[in-house]
A and B are shown apart, each in its own frame.
Chain A
């Protein structure tokens, strides 16, 4: 049983906590020991949020050590850059290509980093960076609230967990009435991740190799 340390990050209100809860429950159903923990500020909305999810045979610390994250799932670009020092050199970074300006940027007190700067920060940690236009894809699907489940679809490509279990747990955890929409978002997320992955692998040598079985959607769990 391989260990997986995942970092899920974004902005309060984007659905980071629910996403990391779902990862934990899917992994539990697959027989992993699981610990997951969130770090979030005081208020309901708008602050920086980060969840640590640890899967393995036996997990002690709920917090991941810096430099040991296997997969980062970032709902927002600046937050991806903020936590990039947690990634190990072979880690996968799935980053929503979306910027949400902090208030200080709106007020002109601070400057939001450019795309090149963000990618360069991430590149110090890993080469396996996948920028996904998740927010615009999800908007096209008709409900921005499925962003977290769409991104779970992206992350699922890199995890040996059964699709059926993902779909079951997602159906249990999202509000009734939007289950179908969320399953569609999950499947679209998987599809989009595979598309981006294959395009990037074709153009970038040494971009790191994911088990092709995972990429095709197979499962070893």
Chain B
């Protein structure tokens, strides 16, 4: 009995890496009074004489192994928020629970232990010690933890090669480029072997190209090492690229928490909507997020006559072919099916073409434009099990870019460039071969 509850607790802890409840951080003369009035419905701009509310009533939970991005413009309180997560600032009110202990209430000694073992940090301007070598910087966390020198240097060496800095250990930070310095910063945080990694505008000081490279490497490292990452940024594209979930902050308050897709397609208010206007949607949106239900679908076992009838009714010149379990097989053209019908054949399989590679729902739109251009008919979207789950006509891709509703409902999604065979011709052919079905 006891063990069972204990295990349950462990499970709960495993699922949530860090949780923040009703967190306030107010700077200034009378923080308690500011919070009282904020709760009474006052706006933070009305209370500047009493103090500055940097974080107002923030609540969220970060799941183990996810990249949680806090996004906001400067002055939105995101930097203050991240600094309360490891106790660099203590919250004025509310709680921050890391690994089961509320770090706003623990002693200094216990707080240091939490920082050593649970939560490490990467800084915007790298914050390396200029008087120490790269290797010594990377090993700093281990040094603080009391690991003996030969061991900590050996471990730091490994981490340095993990972030691509093999052989740079004996240099000083001043000799490295910005991107490389931040790799050292990242190595130092990884070396601590904490589950949680705080990253405060970690890539903002880097050149765009280097930044992109670092973002990709971070995603790669995260999938290898399974860290929980809390990432602060003012760059929406970065947030959308990295984040499993994003919290959007404005004037100290969290205005929306959601997946990149949710934030893009269902912004909580005008502020968020305006913000996401500038985002590079092609990198964020996925085939699965924008696809349409496939209408022109025919069953292989239904035979050519059935297929031809479906195409006639939908006024299309081609259709996707699936088997009984809805596994995607290929496409058929009305011309070919017509020939089969006229030849009184009941074999649809003979005319199925497999010319178009299906796309997976996770593919980002960015990777689909080229293929959409080449393909005369909509791209079939097929899940991992091989089932046809949707279709991507060109118009849908365009609509997703323009952020206009893409489901017209009136048009079948098959917008082939080849005009379908006139309806009367098909009907006549079907009538002629009435007895075959």
Partners in one complex: no
